[in-house]
Amino acid sequence: MELFLHQVLAGLATGGIYACMALAVVMIYQAIDSLNFAQGEMAMFSTFIAWQLLQWGLPYWAAFFLTIGISFVAGVVIERVVFKPVQNESVLSHVVIFIALFAIINSAAGFIWDFTIKSFPSPFGTRELFGQRLISAHDAGMIGITILMLVLLYLFFRYTRVGLAMRAAAANPESARLAGIRVGWMVALGWGMAAAVGAIAGMLIAPVVFLEPNMMLSILLYGFAGAVVGGLTSPLGAVIGGFSMGVIENLAGTFIPYVGRELKLTIALTLIVAVLTVKPSGLFGRTVETRV
């Protein structure tokens, strides 16, 4: 029983990171109808920036928030410079652009900081919380920060004017333009926020998986799985999907014989296929209807 609880809690902790990546993917997907394959690499690069700031002697939280700010600006700039010129091209062009971004960011990180594994500090420490063996302080901190961030994002989109404008721009760009909303800037803002969310995810998971240019590869896969399972049209679904991925991965790895560490990723991919077969719009997604 204790093992079970421990695995569930640890699963929620990594699941929170998957949820962040899933949410970042969904935020961009809703604005531009394409999956950003480079989302994970952007998060990895942000984490390296945080590491560099820490190396230069900044206190943890200063580096943390500075990195979020830098990532936000970088996300906006990437949208304006790289994506905006091709936004009306076909989906395949988008895919190629995203794969290029992936490769460029990955190599740039390797070029600047090389490919050796680096350790990344946790602000919460790695000891067990309250001396219990159920959950480590870092896992608890991860869950806490993830939930805090999700609540803030919810409040932003639900109750602020800019949040409403972003929702309008994503839901019906043409009608939003007719209301005088600058849709292009709303999309750029979405990229900035997605990059910031990714940065938080990267900085929180780095103490667990260690910092190196390929650290986000499998994490983004789980994020995609969470987003697809929850539904690409539903931010809440993506978050729930992300958390479930973490828990399912941990439980399967522990309790199903032969799965172990090696086959855990297979579970995520199997789930994607299963959900897409049964309910293509995802568990919480809606089918898009067009009235003619």
Partner 1 sequence: MSAPLLDASNLDAFYGPTQVLYGVDLEVVAGGITTLLGANGAGKTTTLRSLTGMLDTKGEVRFDGRSIAGRATEDIVRLGIAHVPQGRGTFVRETVEENLQIGAMSRRDRAAISADVERVYGYFPRLKERHRQQAGTLSGGEQQMLAVGRALMLRPKLMLLDEPSFGLAPLLVQELFEILRALNRDEGVSMLIVEQNAALALDLADHAYLLETGRLVMSGPAGEIRNNETIRRSYLGY
Binding site for partner 1 (CB under 8 A): 161, 164-165, 167-168, 171-172, 174-183, 291
CB of 179 vs partner 1, minimal distance in Å:
5
The answer to whether the beta carbons of residues 120 and 206 sit under 8 Å apart is yes
Residue 48's nearest CA partner among 215, 268, 184, 234 is: 215
CB of 239 vs partner 1, minimal distance in Å:
17
Which is nearer to partner 1, 49 or 153 (by Cβ)?
A: 153
Compute how many other C-beta atoms are within 10 angstroms of the C-beta atom of residue 165: 19
Which is nearer to partner 1, 81 or 178 (by Cβ)?
A: 178
CB of 56 vs partner 1, minimal distance in Å:
41
C-alpha to C-alpha distances, 285 to 91, 137, 158, nearest whole angstrom: 21, 34, 19
Residue 140's nearest CA partner among 276, 267, 9, 287 is: 9
Which is nearer to partner 1, 92 or 178 (by Cβ)?
A: 178
Q: What span, in angstroms and rounded, lies between the C-alpha atoms of 283 and 250?
A: 21
Termini Cα distance of the chain: 55
Amino acid type, 79 = E
CB of 291 vs partner 1, minimal distance in Å:
7
Compute how many other C-beta atoms are within 10 angstroms of the C-beta atom of residue 68: 20
CB of 137 vs partner 1, minimal distance in Å:
39
CB of 284 vs partner 1, minimal distance in Å:
13
Placement of tokens 């994970």 in the chain: 40
Q: CB burial class (10 A; 0-12, 13-18, 19+) of residue 71?
A: buried
Which is nearer to partner 1, 118 or 167 (by Cβ)?
A: 167
User: 3-state DSSP call for residue 211?
Assistant: strand
CB of 169 vs partner 1, minimal distance in Å:
10
Which is nearer to partner 1, 27 or 195 (by Cβ)?
A: 27
Paired strand residues for 118: 211
The answer to whether the beta carbons of residues 51 and 211 sit under 8 Å apart is yes
